[in-house]
Structure 1
């Protein structure tokens, strides 16, 4: 999550050698000449890098996935054309010791979203707003495009990905030319020859800014090996800036309001390091000494542990695999198998390892009469966790899990216990997720349909066969989105058939390939259409989680949101800016409508 303000300090206060612009083509060419390497890699922090490709596209209305897909393709192709292969890394679950910071950011996002939703509800223009929230489920779509279309290697890490990216770079110095991200932690790691800024990337000439760790250390008269200590003493996710206030005031003689600026603070921190520490000290020795130096009479074992955790993190001593933390062999083998899938969802690791799950902000009005989407999909999420934990059904404490989710202003500040609902029939999830045997499709569908409906298909075999038969009539492109609509219409009864019709009309238009996509941000989006879009897309995320643990079951294109959703198009359909003439539709369109509505009308 970075050291706040460090990159701005490097850009504005350190001179041209610390932060400067480079051409990535030239960087790769020089690296090849220096290393004679036949394989050149750029490690990409997908969470921070791919979000910048959304600039200029709609996000409030739910996202423009076709246009976003084109930008991801261009990003990958530009790097490949320059002679390198990108590897994309995704975050796993939030670390316990970083939970407070995660909560703080979710609360900030809550107020940002509510401010925007209030403006939209009252009809104000939102075209020029600077706030930004990632569309719900965007990472699932990114991974689909990267793995299935671009054929890139994607790694979903065991925890936050920055440490594993840095470790990968350090272990492969003859192959990794650069890390691309927007996180000042990579300045501290000093893991690759170049740390490239995703925010400042220009795909037209493939240039961006470089942040040099060695030059930053040189400016402050330090050995680069001391950068982890600098990051610790400046404040980060382990050791907050507030907790270091007195120390910062003392070493800078700061007498004004607020905190000392980095151009004053960083040289003062460097001076403390130079005077108090020596190369070769262990983490334990540094933690003990710095605890006394920083906190003086207020030093405790807790503050020393925070310093130690920060140092271990920046020194890459914390990196461990999820499966090392699982004591039962079935669970370990299951998580290993799940992580091999391109659509692996990191929540599986939270359920199997951490006994705590999290749901971030969605773009919704949580002060309205609408039910919060986190609560709408709680039944599906509970059954998802029950499928994952079926092998632990009778073990103590496995029938409940702690959840951090944003469904009101204060909900995320404290975890609540959510029930884990186990399937009422035997499930060997490890066998299902490992197998591509088509004879197991019916067994996988039984688990999936129970996850969506909560219906006991063992007691009512006719229900499964009838529902399965109707479902399999649907075009595979619309499998996942039809399951979401079925849940919202038949199970939760939150959508009426008129609203279902809006979504199905969108599916038909997108399937026709006649819709002209345009990069567009609507100045006055419709409030109710935004609610429906968020409700739908959060469902894609929830249903997608269940599918991700069942192994091969649907064609890969079923996971591609560009096949069935476009936020701007949905607004136009909702507002009747596009007229739907079902009578003149093609036979294919009529077949799509008929199959989906036959499925929608099946009563539970």
Structure 2
């Protein structure tokens, strides 16, 4: 949420309400008050700061490289240092993240997603023009950052909650109920809630824990209102419940009256005038005898629909324990698919969701709706499928795992999931309706209660089989316990991507697998020092595609009862954006495998084993990988011939429109636009034969002039020393307590 213009007004026109504070000193003061018995509601000895996680993401992700998919190892170090700054000051942190998009705010969500899509399009055009990462004016958070940050904070021992209502409301409620020292956010709604003090994350200096507190009491004295009148002010100014447009006529009348009574304009005009004008209106609406007894004063001239809308908006700010009014629309609707699962499963879904231990299951089972925000995808690239379509068959099997137990398989009363996924060509006017698909298992599909609550080795085997089947990777069961769990997960994911995306080449697979294997060799400093001679927009999209796949691994793992530890599915164990990009450039330049694997014989052996397993599995399913090098768009390092340029600019079938998969690799792994239009595979094959015969690029005659660190290749460099191997062993298998 957020109140239109209020944050600006306080920063620019009401400096007396913007109080510099030291959080360390605030914590000391709260301890002193508690010792005097003033905060008996607190349930923890340490002063608690409630953190709005979504408001912190942009500040937390301070890594230099963001466009390549995320510098996840570096990001983990940033989070660890941030948490330690507070814990060393004796401040307990409690984090909240958005867990749902309320339907009453769906259009606001859609509007924001469309705006970000425009920024992503500009970003890709910049990369294709200049071959480098754009500036911070086009900054986009790496895909999946919020999802994986929840797990990261939990791994650091922090208390993390995922909301089942509006996150701002749950944050304010928790802070009020537990007597927290403050709410750390950047959302003007926390000025309106009568809860703990609101302190700014944007103005936070982590080195000395100083920031600015927005004092609602001082604000009220300045604008002539009481704290209980702030919710009406917020709704008349405009927020996510009551839009600016809907109350425009009220503000216009208020502005006209204000200017008549105050011919000397306020120094903050026009923004300052607007807030002051509406404040004066709100103050004038009640008589003394009516003060605080009416939700919307009768004297406010409104139509019946607008009055009801305002009531709903005002109620949204009323917290438990504030008895003047009851908050409306908070009763939880019945679970979407309660007849398809047991009460125990419903309870477990909610508990997993709130504790951020599960992913996807609550949205599917209890709400019947799921959404995915923007991904770094190039709308002008017709040869790569959007991630929403790539992973649709996977999601359908996850839905089947969750909902099809005991269903006779008929289309009668078949549960349907509403998907709000952002991808090029989807106008987001309505959700995609997606139906579950049963998972192919060698036995009857087990009940969800057995998978989630059963015990014994047979159940453990069943969980693993179910998980692998979701990605059609049953052949990998023999690798369980033989290779690290994170590598098994990465192999499943890359294999699935290859089966679904027919335009992926052998070079793409080599890039994915080599970076997963070599990541163990790299310290955080080494990863940060990787230099990229040029950026490939195609590699940017492939990096985001992988990260989105990890979130689907999480959903499948949760639905299957957790055969793998969730930590094994985290990106910092199998992906680094800059490392992947460097491997992509090397692989597509024809670099020898020894160099691609950092001249480490153990890594090379493991890489070849994984690649052989992937190739064999794909061959069984009719998918034969081919070599198809791609050069960077600008040819800064490799100059492609005319055939290559034409292929790269317009190659591949057009998936635009409301595209749908046609059953994955079992039906050719293709896709089609809604309707009857299908790509012509013969045309695609003929282009590929031209590609292979053409002399525009020969990886053996055009050496790639940059090694993985961006410097000239040193073909005489000796093999990695034992230090790297020692570091790798220590880093590769984390303590089981971390899982």
Range class of TM-score, shorter chain: 0.7 to 0.9
Contact 1:92 1:346 in 2 (8 A): no
Aligned match for 1:44, one of 51, 70, 73: 51
Question: What is the CA-CA distance between 1:451 and the residue it aligns to?
Answer: 1.7
Change (3 A) 1:217 1:158: same
Aligned to 2:347: 336
* Contact 1:470–1:598 (8 Å) recurs in 2: no
Question: Where do 1:25-424 residues align within 5 Å?
Answer: 25-36=24-35, 38-123=45-130, 125-148=132-155, 150-173=156-179, 176-192=180-196, 194-253=197-256, 261-277=270-286, 285-287=294-296, 289=298, 293=301, 295=302, 299-301=303-305, 303-316=306-319, 317=327, 320=330, 325=335, 328=338, 330=341, 332-341=343-352, 343-345=356-358, 347-369=360-382, 370-391=384-405, 393=407, 397-423=413-439
Q: Distance in 1 between matches of 2:289 and 2:51?
A: 32
Report what 1:21 is aligned to.
20
Moved more, 432-441 or 72-81: 432-441
Give structure 1 stretches of 5+ with no counterpart. Answer: 456-463
Alignment of structure 1 residues 573-592 onto 2, 5 Å? 573-576=583-586, 580-581=594-595, 582=597, 584-587=599-602, 590-591=605-606
Q: Identify if the C-alpha distance between structure 1 residues 320 and 430 changes in structure 2 by more than 3 Å, giving closer, same or farther.
A: farther
How far apart, CA to CA, are the structure 2 residues paired with 1:4 and 1:420?
Answer: 41
Residues in 2 aligned to 1:441 and 1:344: alpha-carbon distance in whole angstroms:
19
Structure 2 Cα separation of the partners of residues 345 and 234 of structure 1: 37
Contact 1:474 1:595 in 2 (8 A): no
Out of 121-130 and 33-42, give the one that drifted further.
Answer: 121-130
Question: Which piece of structure 1 moves more, 495-504 or 278-287?
Answer: 278-287
Q: Of residues 436, 441, 444 in structure 1, which corresponds to 2:460?
A: 441
Deviation at 1:439, TM superposition (A): 4.0
**Alignment equivalent of 1:544, drawn from 546, 549, 554:** 554
Q: Which runs of 5+ in 2 are unaligned?
A: 36-41, 260-267, 320-326, 622-739
User: Which residue matches 2:581?
Assistant: 571
SS state at 1:357 partner: strand
- Secondary structure of 1:94's counterpart equals coil
Contact 1:89-1:157 at 8 Å conserved across structures: yes
Measure the CA separation in 1 of the matches of 2:159 and 2:331. 18
Deviation at 1:550, TM superposition (A): 3.1
**386-395 or 88-97, which deviates more:** 386-395
3-state SS of the aligned residue for 2:428?
Answer: helix
Q: After TM superposition, give the deviation of residue 141 of structure 1 in Å.
A: 2.0
The whole-number CA distance in structure 2 between the counterparts of 1:282 and 1:157 is: 34
Query: Secondary structure of 2:609's match?
Result: helix
Distance 1:358 1:507 in 2: 28
Q: 1:573 to 1:430 in 2, by over 3 A?
A: same
Check 1:359–1:366 CA distance in 2 against 1; reply closer, same or farther (3 A cut).
same
Tell me which moved more, 198-207 or 97-106. 198-207
2:517–2:606 CA contact under 8 A, matched in 1: no
Give the secondary structure class of the aligned counterpart of 1:365: coil
- Retained in 1: the 8 A contact 2:236–2:247? yes
Contact 1:164 1:319 (C-alpha < 8 Å) held by counterparts: no
**Larger CA Rg, structure 1 vs 2:** 2
- Say whether the 8 Å CA contact 1:337–1:434 is kept in structure 2: no
1:352-388 deviation digits (Å, cap 9, x = unpaired)? 2333222211011123212111111111112222222
Asked whether the equivalents of residues 9 and 275 of structure 2 are also in contact (C-alpha less than 8 Å), the reply is no
Per-residue displacement from partner, 1:485-510 (whole Å, max 9, x unpaired)?
01012344343332111111112221
Deviations 1:459-501 (A, max 9, x none): xxxxx4x442145543212232221101012344343332111
Shift, 1:231, TM fit: 0.8
Corresponding residue to 1:490 among 481, 499, 504:
499
Q: Distance in 2 between matches of 1:235 and 1:161?
A: 18
Higher relative contact order (CA 8 A, sep 6+): 1
Distance 1:556 1:95, change over 3 A: closer
Aligned length, in residue pairs: 580
Question: Is the 8 Å Cα contact of residues 338 and 344 (structure 1) preserved in structure 2?
Answer: no
| 1:195–1:212 CA contact under 8 A, matched in 2 | yes
- Bigger Cα displacement from structure 2, 564-573 vs 519-528: 519-528
> How much is the aligned-residue C-alpha RMSD, in angstroms?
3.0
Bigger helix share? 1
Q: Which segment drifts farther, 575-584 or 350-359?
A: 575-584
How far residue 347 of structure 1 moved from its aligned partner, in angstroms, is 3.5
Offset of 1:246 from its aligned partner? 1.6
Aligned-residue offset at 1:420: 2.3
Is 1:507–2:509 an aligned residue pair?
A: no
1:530 matches 2:569 = no
User: Residues 473 and 418 (structure 1 numbering): CA distance in 2 closer, same or farther, change over 3 Å?
Assistant: same
Instruction: Tell me: CA distance 1:435–1:46, structure 2 relative to 1, closer, same or farther (3 Å).
Output: farther
Say whether 1:598 aligns with 2:622. no
Q: Is the 8 A contact 2:232 2:310 kept in 1?
A: no
TM-superposition CA deviations, 1:185-217 (whole Å, max 9, x none):
11111311x212112221111112211111111
- Secondary structure class of the residue paired with 1:83: coil
Please give the alpha-carbon distance, in whole angstroms, between the structure 2 residues aligned to 1:563 and 1:280: 64
Measured in 2, the distance between the counterparts of 1:211 and 1:101 equals: 26
Shift in Å, 1:585: 1.6
Give the 3-state SS of the residue equivalent to 1:371 in structure 2: coil
Deviations 1:41-89 (A, max 9, x none): 1111111113311134322111101111011111111111111111111
Q: Point out the more displaced range, 495-504 or 101-110.
A: 495-504
SS in 1 for 2:138: coil
Distance 1:543 1:310, change over 3 A: same
Paired residue for 1:458?
A: none
